[in-house]
Structures are given as C-alpha cells and as structure tokens.
Amino acid sequence: MDKITLIMFIGLSGFMLFLFFYIINRDKVNESKFGAMELMLEDLNQEVFKLKKEIKNIKCDNDLENLENIIDEMLTNLKSMEKKYLTKLQELEEKISVVECKNKKKVFDFSNVNTQDEEKIRSLYKNGYSIEEISRELRIPAGEVELVLKFSNLG
C-alpha cells in the first residue's frame, strides 16, 4: 500500500499543482480582462463627461440664440418707438416755432418801436452802446430796447 499511497499522493500533488497553476493562469486572464474593463470604463466616463459638456454648450447656445432673438425683437420695437417719438417731436417743434412766430408778431405789435427804431437800436448796440445809453438816446424804454435786441439775437 505504500506504493499506492505514494502514487495517489503524487497524483494528488500533481492534480493540486495543475489546479494551482490553472487558478493562477485564470487569475491572470481575469486580471487582464478587469484591466481592459477599467480602461473601457475610464474611456466611457470621459465620453460621458464630453457629452455632458457638449449638452451644456448646446443649451447655452440655445439660450444665447433665444436671448439674441429677444434682443432683436426689443431693438425693432425700440426703433419703431423712436420713429414715432421723432415724428411727434418734429410736430411739436413745428408747433412751437409757429407759436413763437405768432408771439413775436404780437410783441412787436404791442411795442411802440417801429422798424426804423429797431434798425437804430441794432446799429447802436453793434457800435458798443449799452442798453441804457440806447434807451436815453432814442427815448425808448430800456425793456423795449432789450426786447428788440433779444428778438434780433444780439442781447
């Protein structure tokens, strides 16, 4: 029995060695597969990160496009409002100039100063006379002299 035990022991030892090397080899194969899977997972994570970033950029681009559209719409509205206000402003300026002309005529109508006196007032003022001096020389109130100079854009 000694031989049989020895053969069985050698056989069992051989089987154990075979099993041991098989397990080590299998472990290496599994380890290499896990390494490959880790690399694939890392690549997938990078791709997911890139995709998320692109999605954010697309959302930002869409938001920017929406904002641009809103701004363009607001600009067109502002331009149309500006045109309306400019036409109203021109109308008001025309009305004001008409009223000013009417008031100038009325003021001169109420004034005792005639056109010859107006010319004298202008020429004396241009020659360096003061309002009081012109008033004394022409015997016209100083207020009327001032008024004539203002309407002549001299005083």
Q: What is the pLDDT of residues 9-37, one digit of tens each?
A: 898 899 999 999 999 999 999 899 888 89
State if pTM tops 0.85. Answer: no
Say which range, 7-11, 102-106, 124-128, has the weakest mean pLDDT: 102-106
Residue 117 and residue 138 in contact, taking contact as beta carbons nearer than 8 Å? yes
d(CA 67, CA 80): 20
Q: What is the pLDDT of residues 52-69, one digit of tens each?
A: 888 888 877 777 788 888
Q: Where are the domains of the chain?
A: 2-90
Q: What is the pLDDT of residues 31-53, one digit of tens each?
A: 998 888 999 989 888 998 988 88
